[in-house]
Amino acid sequence: MVKRLAIPFILITMLFTLAWPAHAESELTVEPDRTRLYEGEVLTLTVRGSMKIDINLGNLFDLDISNLPSPDIGKVEDDFEIVGRNQRYSIRTINNDMVGEITWTYQLAPRKTGELTIPSLTFQDASSEPITINVVAGTSPDQDPESRDSFIELSTDKDEVYVQEQLVLTIKLFFSGNLIRGELSEPEHPDAIIENLGKQREYSRYRNGVRFRVVERRYAIYPQQPGEFRLNAIHFEGRARTPEGQLKFLRDSEQLFDIPVKGIPDSFTGDTWLPASDLQLSEAGLPDNQNLSTGQNLTRTLSLTAQGLPAEALPPFPDQTVPGIRTYPEHPERSATSDRDGITSSLTQTTALVPVEPGNLVLPEIRIPWWDTDADEEKIAVIPARTLSVSASPDLTTTSGQNTGAPEKDMETTPVETDENTGQTSTSWFWPVVSLILAMGWLATAIAWWYGRKHPASPPGPQARDTGERALFRELCQAAEEGDPRTLELLPRWAARYFHSQRFDSVADVCRYAADDALNRELEALQRHLFGKHDHTGDWDGKPLVAVLRNLRGKDTRHRTEDSLPPLYPEGLASQSQ
């Protein structure tokens, strides 16, 4: 019975003594596992402290774990990020004195390259000497990337591009083990528009007989300035568990090679620079024989489709006003779809046409110059001129025909006041009435559509804005005022945060949702500024666009209350079994 009670008592005594060090004769040693490493590697720093332990009946049952001493490791965070830490305790007897030993193990990731310093650390009355760590850029030339626990591969579909031409970037993260937590950075550049090409892919690959899990992401990048294009390095940090159950830290970075960006060729004749792999211009709605009658209503649809351009880069169609034809254009619609090969965008313009005068009426030719990036030459998309043969409507000449063709005796038995202008009088009232009816119908439709957009059924009640939305909106307004191409990227991101029940993948989605003519005008002006052929540096006035954005934000209270930041870690990276 005595033996059974003695063992727990001894264990409890050893634990309690850790809380009561005798503050004398403390020791501290600091040892890195190496003093030279590459920027993507992790340094293991081992810190050992020892101290005499004073144990007596007065402090035996007064345990406070929070009072356990520890070194001031926070000093290293100027040059290193602490990505992991561990500690263990032991007690031993030296010359009849009880000595407690504590070992701290830290995983340190360098924040930059060059000579970094682990400063002097203190532990009670002991201190260590500073240690210099040399961090080298890049990866070790003696180490095959595929022999590491994680590595990044970057590739592009082209070795050089024109300004505003699509460049597809592929990022592949290879890692081994069971990933518990990880973060893969996004590509960033101040002078580029960057669009995500769909969801990331996850699969497995073998390299040199080793099985790796792979996360693949693709991006469409549109450099906005000629010259050498260099992205910031792509970084990955994570933790994985080995098959043996040990926790390991993964860290890697990779820099994309420089991409030459060429300026707009002098031989290009268009007003709007359109570098694309394919561009198609089409129309629909006109009759095959192109014979019409006055008052006949037509709906003409023009479509512009481009591969390798964002929807915001497509220019508006030229004015199609024709004497003798009344036009009622709808607002143009922009849309974009993406796949692994890039972005395909389209611009659609629907216009109601009503001929009001007989004769041959000509719809002018539409020409849109563009640059074929595959053939490296200018091409022109054309819709040829259309001649419409418009005849007077038979219904408009019935009265005139009956009067002129009636027998003379009928005119005597049924007197009618008439003169040589009777035919003109009988039709003079028709076209104003027809036009008025059409205009009223179009106006009523527009009002109903506007009202429906502004008054959706059962809108959620007003709620408070979140701080993340405010910061994103400030960034959007600053970019808009400066004419920064990031405006076209920030607008859908802010709208998705603000209008919490909607999904916005492009600027076109925001325009459709907002149904704001002023917003459309200012965004079209920004697009002309960004994508026009000529250099417009310095002539941009972003205050009207900022005012429209503030008005859009102020008049609609349907927005988020909770901070809905995207997931910190890539979807699917977290293992379900740890």
Report strand pairing: 386-391 vs 359-363.
Answer: antiparallel
Helices and strands: H and E segment counts in the chain: 10, 31
Closest CA to 343 of 167, 163, 494, 512: 167
Same CATH fold, 275-393 and 145-262?
yes
Instruction: Identify whether the C-beta of residue 295 lies closer than 8 Å to the C-beta of residue 436.
Output: no
pLDDT tier, 407 (very low <50, low <70, confident <90, very high otherwise): very low
The second-level CATH assignment, the architecture, of 275-393 is: Sandwich (2.60)
Residue 23 pLDDT more than 70?
Answer: no
Q: Mean pLDDT across the stretch 250-276?
A: 92
Rounded Cα gap, residues 274 and 307, in angstroms:
10
Question: What are the structure tokens assigned to 49, written together?
Answer: 């402290």
Q: What letter represents residue 514's amino acid?
A: A
Q: What is the DSSP letter of 232?
A: P
Q: Strand ranges (DSSP E) for 176-277?
A: 178-184, 192-196, 201-207, 210-223, 227-229, 234-241, 247-254, 259-262, 275-276
Listing DSSP states for 461-504 in one string gives PP-PPPHHHHHHHHHHHHHHHHT-TTHHHHHHHHHHHHSTT---
**Residue corresponding to tokens 């099985």:** 211
Q: Which helix (H) or strand (E) element contains residue 355?
A: strand 342-355
67 pLDDT band, cuts 50/70/90, is low
One-letter amino acid identity for 358?
A: P
- CA distance to 51, 240, 282, per residue, from 46 (Å): 17, 21, 70
Q: What single letter denotes the amino acid at residue 319?
A: D
Q: What is the pLDDT of residues 30-59, one digit of tens each?
A: 999 999 988 778 889 999 887 766 655 555
Which CATH fold topology does 2-136 show?
Immunoglobulin-like (2.60.40)
Contact 165, 222 (CB under 8 A): yes
The reported pLDDT for the residue numbered 61 is 52
Among 534, 9, 34, CA closest to 264 = 534
> Given the structure tokens 């994309």, which residue do they identify?
256
Where is pLDDT greater, at 511 or 202? 202
Q: Return the beta strands (E) in 1-149 as ranges.
A: 27-32, 36-38, 43-52, 80-94, 97-110, 114-118, 122-123, 126-127, 131-136
Going from the C-alpha of 563 to that of each of 127, 228, 474, 494, the distances in angstroms are 44, 37, 16, 12
C-alpha distances in Å from residue 474, one per residue of 526, 543, 566: 18, 13, 19
Q: Which residue has the tokens 């100027």?
A: 78
Indicate whether 484 pLDDT > 70.
Answer: yes
Q: For strands 247-254 and 275-276, give the pairing.
A: unpaired
pLDDT in tens, 181-192: 889 999 999 999
Name the nearest CA neighbour of 68 among 36, 126, 23: 23
Cβ distance 80 to 109 under 8 Å?
Answer: yes
145-262 in CATH: which number?
2.60.40.10
Q: What is the mean pLDDT of residues 70-88?
A: 87
What integer pLDDT is reported at residue 220 of this predicted model?
96
pLDDT in tens, 342-386: 999 999 999 998 898 999 999 999 999 999 999 999 999 999 998
State the amino acid at position 506 in one-letter form.
S
- φ, ψ of residue 88 in degrees (nearest 5): -145, 155
DSSP-derived pairing of the beta strands 43-52 and 97-110: antiparallel
φ/ψ bin of 133: left (φ > 0), alpha (ψ from -120 to 50), beta (otherwise): beta
pLDDT tens by residue, 511-549: 888 888 888 888 888 877 877 665 555 578 888 999 989
User: Helix, strand, or coil here: 147?
Assistant: helix
Is the confidence at residue 19, as pLDDT, over 80? no
Q: Greater confidence, 211 or 65? A: 211
Contact 346, 301 (CB under 8 A): no
pLDDT at 132 over 80: yes
Distance of alpha carbon 274 from alpha carbon 220, whole angstroms: 16
Query: Where in the chain are the domains?
Result: 2-136, 145-262, 275-393, 467-555
DSSP 249-302: EEEEEE-PPPEEEE---TT---SB--EESEEEEEEE-S-SS-EEETT--EEEEE
Q: How confident is the model at residue 172 (pLDDT cuts 50, 70, 90)?
A: very high
Looking at residue 102, its amino acid is: I
Q: CB of 333 within 8 A of CB of 348?
A: yes
Quick: pLDDT tens for 300-322: 999 999 999 999 899 999 887 88
Backbone angles phi, psi at 268, to 5 degrees: -70, 130
Is 347:368 a contact under the CB 8 Å cutoff? no
Query: Can you tell me the mean pLDDT for 253-270?
Result: 93
- 320, two tokens: 């199609």
CB 207 within 8 A of CB 146: yes
Q: Among all chains, which residue has been given the structure tokens 């009344």?
A: 326
DSSP label of 461: P
Is the pLDDT reported for residue 161 higher than 90?
Answer: yes
Q: What are the b/e assignments for 177-188, b being 16+ CB within 10 Å?
A: bbbbebebeebe
| Residue 194 pLDDT | 94
pLDDT, residue 566, reads: 40
Please state, as a whole number, how many other Cβ atoms lie within 10 Å of the Cβ of residue 124: 17
Pair 74, 172: CB distance under 8 Å: no
Mean pLDDT of the chain: 78
> How far apart (Å, rounded) are the C-alpha atoms in residues 243 and 183?
21
